[in-house]
Structure 1
Amino acid sequence: MKHWERALIAPDATLRDALRNIDATGAGIALVVDPDRRLVGTLSDGDIRRALIRGENLDGPCGAFANVAPATASAEMDPASRLGLLRSRKLRQLPLIDDQGRVVGLSTVSDFLEMPERTEAVVIMAGGRGTRLAELTANTPKPMLKVGPRPMLDTVVDAFAAQGFRRIFLSINYRGEQIEAHFGDGSERGLHIRYLREDGPRGTCGALSLLPTDVTGDVLVTNGDVLTKMDYGRVADDHAVAGAAATVVVRDYEMQVPFGVINADQGRVLGIEEKPSQVYRINAGVYVLSPSARELVPSEGSFDMPQLLQSLIDEGRSVRAHRAEGYWVDVGRMADFARANEDYGAVFEGG
């Protein structure tokens, strides 16, 4: 929020002053702080209204009526996590504090609606059944499984929304009606959400053939079960600068042999390497595709992303790798699901 400092008020200011403060800022909240700007509490117009109903006087000190345990966020928390926290806790405002408890900012839901809109469309593949999580997905599509306090698809969508991506297509099949009921047309989130309804399994990119003809530019594609702190805007920008047909996001993945490895020649031991590791570059499940690349997706049947990328390579087209850092987990197995839930609070709500 711009000019968030106007929301600050001293504990000995009156409730009347607090009302004027809230009205002037339009933030819907006053931040009660001590002389060092440490957060004492928050005071919403609802808090004041309830105080008046109880018979309190408008000339009383506002600090006496503040919520002294409000939800806050670290100043270092990224925008996507702030938006996720606002939505998961059904908040309108989120004070930002430093490690000394001092107020250094204020995030509101409207902040994200004012962010410049990206031109690229986003396709989130959310049609799979999740057979490796079968005990959890008997009645729920995998992207709607809760990781932390909300469905993981919420976290994926919020990550794009927080970076200015507004036009989102959700590819649905298995129990897709649950996804449609949850997200609707996206208007309540400030988004434009539409659905690519698969009439059967279409593979990991077959649903791209269902995109409407008005999608003419580059498209970001991601799996609905990939939770990451990725900078999608940078991926899209670098793809455009490179003029590539496709970009695949890659990550380094280390695998360690849990034993000592013997290097031997004709029965003679030449050396022993204790528990060596090998680093592989893996597909992170996030892509950018140019319009010409999408033309290779057949209109019917199942088609997987590796098939599309290989077809482009075989034609001599440019397929670039974009190396991404930061948190990433593909929630495909029970162990990954457990890890994502264990990590969620620190990664997506802890800054």
Structure 2
Amino acid sequence: MRPFPLMLFAAGKGTRMGALTANCPKPLIKVASKPLIDHALNLAAAARARPIVVNTHYLGDQIVAHLSHLPIAVSAEDDLLLETGGGLRKALPLLQSSPVMTLNSDAVWTGQNPLLQLSQHWDDSRMDALLLLAAPGNARGHTGQGDFLMDDQGRLVRAKGAPGLVYLGAQILRTDRLAEISEQIFSLNLLWDRLIASGRVFGLVHQGGWCDVGRPEGIAEAEALLAGARA
């Protein structure tokens, strides 16, 4: 199994967390006595991801200090928060090659390692993106009907209001076409739509549990998920 570079998104302001992020960046909020970003880094280590790049913005100096003992590169967005697409494009010189894995730092997982699942199912010949997904009922902390519809070959299209599968914040993605996008600040949704039009975006359903930790109540829900997996 080949190793992939990993972009770990950790630059968000965490405003939905309210007072919890007044003096602490969301990636350092603890779930089951461990900072969220450490949960993500454990997944990365098990998947042998390298190099690993973390982007920072809000209270980024705390994240840098937390990571200082690890061989991890930091892509600082001190002056301007670039969103996922702009942040990934800025980090490309540190990631060194394409395709790359990306992982959000504000969720916890149970079951099979999401990054290993993706790397085991990646197909260079037909994929520009492979997104990890779940049915809405299996996506704890998520609100809404879902993001994508998947055909029997695994190919994705936008759900466009129909009940669909939820994107869980983990993927493998070719980065070449990021250069086509003129905006400095943009979401990866913009790139996905271009790749979907080419029929080269695929999905994979996560074999395990997942919980978004975007709001304060998500902490207890995530800890319950992890405790249930250990029981």
Q: What TM-score results when the alignment is normalised by the length of structure 1?
A: 0.53
Structure number with larger C-alpha Rg? 1
- 1:240 partner SS: coil
1:206 aligns with 2:86: yes
Residues 260-317 of structure 1: CA deviation (Å, up to 9, x unaligned): xxxxxxxxxxxxxxxxxx963111111111142443455x632112122012223x24
Partner Cα separation in structure 1 for residue 2 and residue 122 of structure 2 = 14
- 1:235 partner SS: helix
Partner Cα separation in structure 2 for residue 227 and residue 291 of structure 1 = 25
Q: 1:143 aligns with which of 9, 27, 31?
A: 27
CA-CA distance at 1:319 after TM superposition: 0.7
- Aligned residues of 2:5 and 2:51 also touching (Cα < 8 A): yes
- Aligned residues of 2:7 and 2:95 also touching (Cα < 8 A): no
Partner Cα separation in structure 1 for residue 209 and residue 202 of structure 2 = 21
Q: 1:248 aligns with which of 94, 114, 131?
A: 131
Partner Cα separation in structure 2 for residue 195 and residue 203 of structure 1 = 15
CA-CA distance at 1:137 after TM superposition: 0.2
Query: What residue number does 2:75 align with?
Result: 196
1:339 aligns with 2:218: no
Greater mean alpha carbon deviation, residues 301-310 or residues 135-144: 301-310
Partner Cα separation in structure 2 for residue 126 and residue 253 of structure 1 = 24
Per the alignment, do residues 172 and 146 of structure 1 end up closer, same or farther by CA in structure 2, a change over 3 Å counting? same
Partner Cα separation in structure 2 for residue 214 and residue 147 of structure 1 = 28
1:161 aligns with 2:45: yes
Partner Cα separation in structure 2 for residue 185 and residue 207 of structure 1 = 23
Letter in 1 for 2:56: I
Partner Cα separation in structure 1 for residue 104 and residue 30 of structure 2 = 16
CA-CA distance at 1:173 after TM superposition: 0.5
Gap runs ≥5 in structure 1: 1-116, 187-191, 256-277
- Aligned residues of 1:254 and 1:279 also touching (Cα < 8 A): no
- 2:172 partner SS: strand
Q: Percent identity?
A: 27
Query: What residue number does 2:192 align with?
Result: 309
Which stretches of structure 1, 4 residues or more, deviate above 6 A after TM superposition? none
Aligned CA-pair RMSD: 2.4
Q: Which has the higher contact order (CA 8 A, sep 6+)?
A: 2
Query: What residue number does 2:108 align with?
Result: 227
Letter in 2 for 1:205: G
Per the alignment, do residues 181 and 126 of structure 1 end up closer, same or farther by CA in structure 2, a change over 3 Å counting? same
Partner Cα separation in structure 2 for residue 122 and residue 326 of structure 1 = 21
Matches of residues 285-296 of structure 1 in structure 2 within 5 Å?
285-296=169-180
Query: What residue number does 1:281 align with?
Result: 165
Q: 1:127 aligns with which of 1, 7, 11?
A: 11
Partner Cα separation in structure 1 for residue 134 and residue 4 of structure 2 = 23
Gap runs ≥5 in structure 2: 139-161
